[in-house]
Amino acid sequence: MVSSQLRLDIFSQPGPASPTVAAAVEALASQSGIEARGAIFTRAEVVDFILDLAGYTADRPLHRLRFLEPSFGGGEFLLAAVRRLLAAWRASDGQAVVDQLGNAVRAVELHRDTFAATRDALIQLLRREGIAARAAVTLADRWLVQDDFLLVPLEGAFDVIAGNPPYVRQELIPAPLLAEYRSRYPTLYDRADLYVPFIERSLSLLAEKGNLGFICADRWMKNRYGGPLRELVASRFHLKVYVDMVDTPAFHSHAIAYPAITVLGREATGTTRHDHPPPLATAHLTRTPARPCRPSTPPRAECACRPPAPPPRPSPARPRRSPSEFLPPYGPELDPVELVWAYLKTTALANDAPADVAEVHRHAARSLHRLRRRYDLLRCFLTGPALSLFSPR
């Protein structure tokens, strides 16, 4: 089991292990282009939606909770969270700002110039909100960390973690740094993108009953490379919300493939809310022309092998609605491969009595071979999770 190898107490891990790793981090911090840093910035409406879903709302005593933004970029999540924090603090007694709020936020950013610009923006925001100049600088310096989130030690646990982690393919990560990440994060498996160990580390920092709300590619839920992360989530966490953002322009610049909002909680069980399209006021989100839309799914085959499939997507002519449905923890229904195995286990191999492991292997291979001719089932394994039989244009 991969999950048993996953380490959740990484506070004891040291910082950058070797001069080569430190040099690679420094190179990324000082000179890398947008692609190497995976910098794509999130629209304000989407940020507010995620903070709401993750429970970072001003009607809670946010000054007593801890908030983390692992890769704050231009501060889209950070500044919105700070506004909510100040509102909650004022609604309590609004006293001793540094003492009361100094521990309430941590936010990390690798890129030095981005860090400096957002630090300035944060200080200006605090000043506009009536915080004295010295206290504003003190808070910014307590809250903000310029470093690599995957390597920097961070103390304590966090009640809410939210953000938009970097999208960086492994080929773009310097070799010594990639080796260091791999040695620390078992979920950086196969072709996994950098956002995958970001989720792993964030989960390791989550307080009991805490929530992690990210917008990122949803491929970890479906692809081979997401296997270890899915095991980790299934063993100790709970997928509370899954919002498919494929047809919604969530970012300021070019988009990533298959974006989704996920909220993961440090809780063993519960239901999952699944939305498509998102219940957002999307009318005023400017559409992003660069991103291809997925074609509509082919007619849905009736399927007896799984619970009712999600409702079909509305056509552009119809008003946007937000159907919700409840799925079991971590939502294996979203993965066609899981559906294939579920079918084999509950039907083709259900009453099998193999003599040894080699026979299990032979029987499974034979059943898979037969399944190749069951177009009705194959179609329903794909259309169930609202995937198309056609490639995106």
Ligand X SMILES: C[S@@+](CC[C@H](N)C(=O)[O-])C[C@H]1O[C@@H](n2cnc3c(N)ncnc32)[C@H](O)[C@@H]1O
Measured distance CA(90)–CA(97) in Å, rounded: 10
E strands along 219-335, which residues?
238-244, 259-265, 272-275, 324-327
Q: Say if CB 288 and CB 245 are below 8 A apart.
A: no
Nearer to ligand X by Cβ, of 71 and 262: the residue is 71
- Least Å distance, CB 162 to ligand X, is 9
Is 55 one of the binding residues for ligand X (CB under 6 A)? no
Report the residue number, 195 or 381, with the smaller CB distance to ligand X. 195
42 is a site residue for ligand X (CB under 6 A):
yes
Q: How many residues bind ligand X (CB under 6 A)?
A: 23
Judged by CB, which is closer to ligand X: 76, or 338? 76
Q: Which of 82, 110, 188, 339 binds ligand X (CB under 6 A)?
A: 110
Check residue 266 for interaction with ligand X (CB under 6 A).
no
Residue 248 sits in the site that holds ligand X (CB under 6 A): no
Give the Å distances, CA to CA, from 196 to 77, 152, 219. 19, 17, 10
- The interface region with ligand X, picked from 74-82, 133-141, 359-367, 372-380 by CB under 6 A, is 74-82
Residue 180 burial (CB < 10 Å; 0-12/13-18/19+)? buried
User: Does residue 8 contact residue 185 with C-beta atoms inside 8 Å?
Assistant: no
Among 16, 166, 210, 213, interactor with ligand X by CB under 6 A: 166
Q: Which stretch binds ligand X (CB under 6 A): 6-14, 96-104, 109-117, 230-238?
A: 109-117
Out of 63, 81, 106, 109, the only residue in the binding site for ligand X (CB under 6 A) is 109
Show the CA angle centred on residue 327, arms to residues 325 and 333, nearest 5°. Answer: 110
Please list the alpha-helical segments (H only) found in the chain.
Answer: 19-31, 34-37, 44-53, 76-91, 97-101, 112-128, 133-143, 175-184, 195-204, 227-236, 336-343, 357-371, 375-383
Stretch of 104-112, 130-138, 199-207, 286-294 lying at the interface with ligand X (CB under 6 A): 104-112
Q: Establish if 258 lies at the interface with ligand X (CB under 6 A).
A: no
Cβ density class 181-198: b for 16+ within 10 Å, e for less: bbebbbbbbeebbbbbbb
Tell me how far apart the alpha carbons of residues 205 and 232 are, in angstroms, rounded to a whole number.
Answer: 14
Q: Which stretch binds ligand X (CB under 6 A): 33-41, 275-283, 296-304, 353-361?
A: 33-41
111 scored as a contact of ligand X (CB under 6 A): yes
Strand 259-265's sheet: what is its strand order? 144-146, 105-109, 67-69, 158-163, 206-217, 259-265, 238-244, 272-275, 324-327
What is the per-residue binding string for ligand X in 139-158, x denoting contact by CB under 6 A?
---------xxx--------
Minimal CB distance residue for ligand X: 73
Segment lying near ligand X (by CB under 6 A), choices 71-79, 124-132, 227-235, 241-249? 71-79
In the complex, the smallest distance separating the C-beta of residue 90 from ligand X, rounded to whole angstroms, is 25
Q: Of 37, 63, 119, 201, which one interacts with ligand X (CB under 6 A)?
A: 37
Residues in the chain: 393
Tell me the closest approach of the beta carbon of residue 252 to ligand X, in angstroms: 8
Residue 181 and residue 107: Cα distance in Å, rounded?
A: 20
76 forms part of the interface with ligand X (CB under 6 A): yes
Q: Which residues in this chain contact ligand X in the complex, by CB under 6 A?
A: 37-42, 71-74, 76-77, 108-111, 114, 148-150, 163-164, 166
